[in-house]
Homo-oligomer: A and B are copies of this chain.
Amino acid sequence: MAVRLDDKHVRDFIQPHELEAIQCQVEAAHQVLHQGTGLGNDFLGWLTLPDDYDKEEFARIQKAAEKIRSDSDVLIVIGIGGSYLGARAAIEFLHSPLYNNLKKDTPDIYFAGNSISSSALNDILSLCEGRDVSVNVISKSGTTTEPAIAFRVFKKYLEERYGVEGAKGRIYATTDKEKGTLKKLADEQGYETFVVPDNVGGRFSVLTAVGLLPIAVSGADIGAIMQGASDAAKAYANPSLDQNDCYRYAALRNILYRKGKAIELLVSYEPQFTMVAEWWKQLYGESEGKDGKSLFPASVTFSTDLHSMGQFIQDGTRNLFETVVLFDKVRSELIIEEDPNDGDGLNFLAGKPMSYVNRKAFEGTVLAHTDGGVPNLVLSIPEANAYEYGYMTYFFEKACGISGYMMGVNPFNQPGVEDYKRNMFALLGKPGYEAQKQALEQRLQ
């Protein structure tokens, strides 16, 4: 199996019979998920997506990516939440968090429309100066405030630089297949469009055009990504905890939650995983964080954060557990060399690969943290390539579906995200929201 779960470091915290006791809940979750009888069953498209995705559209994605690579120095990806995190995570994971800074023969890829910061938007505008630009705007409806503001700015920018006609060939819209304001505009203008499927929620959408177009522009092999996801779908079809690491992950985190662990810390030892952890936080936080329940998802990158959050993890409030993601093989190796001087006392490491030291840091840490009362789940992944990315993505998505049903929530809605928007629209005086404005303003006095 491509993703392997080692639960050795939770054995001081969880007895074998606890897994046995929860097996029937896992099976129940498996049934409602696969039979589509649970809450949120309108949004189960991600489950079979790795095999039944639209092959014609997939080919168009690859062609569009090729065109963008050939005529653009910069791709601006406009989207927020699930229309932002997946693609960015994949690009940093498959290349580097410094993708835009490193020498390469693919375009720089910047993400806009994921905040309301004018400073951030102006920065990205300034990066386009003197360089050829394409835009991929991603929004199911076209009216989400953040991407809509950014797209207004970039549409105008492209039209000024390339003319209205020229701009049309540089704008790619990923949106609803038939309705919504962005779809309407795209059809009027003749932008190439890709589909946000109706039955795939934003946080589960990275393996649709939402994620795949920007990822393909970065030069990553999106066919291999889908193959990895497809193999994972087959591997995680058996509801027995003995034979399904994905379900075992879901079960163990529920057990730990029920023992009072309130926080799950996703840990890695490679900075290229940091944005995947941000994607994971949305996946789990938004799927399970409702009805007053659920694990708070947080993340750290070690050893960096052993020198910031390490003290708390070792010895602070005992309300957390760690899920560590390891890679068997690193993207690029470095051998520590002998220094005749040895002033730093590191010669005992001479000739050793740095990845060996990083692995020993993990081993030392997992023992220290479990000694400190922090259970550790360990996920091992062969390497950070496209195939494994697809496999890992499906692992986390399916574990999330199972875990959410075990938690007793609807894992596929996000009603709480609307509350701030309603208030914001009222305070902004948006037509249709006038009623609450005054009452809200009073509360701000």
Contact = CB atoms under 8 A, between A and B. Distances in A.
Nearest to A114: B304
Contact of A269 (B115, B297, B298, B354): B115
A308 interface: yes
11 contacts: A103-B129, A116-B361, A149-B354, A151-B344, A263-B263, A289-B312, A289-B313, A292-B318, A348-B429, A367-B440, A367-B444
A417 interface: yes
A388 B132 CA distance: 37
Interface of A: 80-82, 84-85, 96-98, 100-103, 114-124, 126-127, 129, 142-143, 145-146, 148-149, 151-153, 156, 181-182, 184-185, 202-203, 262-263, 269-272, 278, 281-282, 285-286, 288-298, 301-304, 306-320, 330-334, 336-337, 339, 341, 343-346, 348-349, 353-355, 357-358, 360-361, 363-369, 371-372, 414-417, 419-431, 440, 443-444
Contacts of A102: 123, 126-127
Contact of A419 (B290, B353, B368): B368
- Decide if the interface of chain A is mainly helix, strand, loop or mixed: helix
Given A296-B316, A357-B145, A115 B271 contact: yes
B427 A363 contact: yes
A116 B270 CA distance: 8
A149 B425 CA distance: 52
A355 B118 contact: yes
Nearest to A423: B364
A142 B285 contact: no
Contacts of A127: 98, 101-102
A331 B278 CA distance: 26
A317 B344 contact: no
Contacts of A363: 423-424, 427, 440, 444
B317 A296 contact: yes
Contacts of A297: 309, 312
A242 to B, nearest CB: 21
A168 B87 CA distance: 43
Nearest to A327: B119
Given A151-B344, A306-B417, 9 more contacts: A98-B123, A102-B123, A114-B304, A118-B353, A289-B309, A294-B316, A296-B312, A306-B420, A307-B417
A118 B332 contact: yes
Contacts of A143: 344-345
Which of the listed residues A308, A330, A368, A443 has the most CB atoms from chain B within 10 Å of its own CB?
A308
Contact of A307 (B282, B303, B427): B282
B331 A371 contact: no
B364 A424 contact: yes
Contacts of A123: 96, 98, 102, 332
Which of the listed residues A263, A363, A443 has the most CB atoms from chain B within 10 Å of its own CB?
A363
A118 B354 contact: yes
A416 B372 contact: yes
Contacts of A126: 102-103
A289 B372 CA distance: 12
A384 to B, nearest CB: 8
A36 B144 CA distance: 53
A171 to B, nearest CB: 13
Contact of A101 (B101, B103, B423): B101
Nearest to A268: B117
Contacts of A278: 308
A124 B102 CA distance: 9
Nearest to A300: B281
A368 B415 CA distance: 12
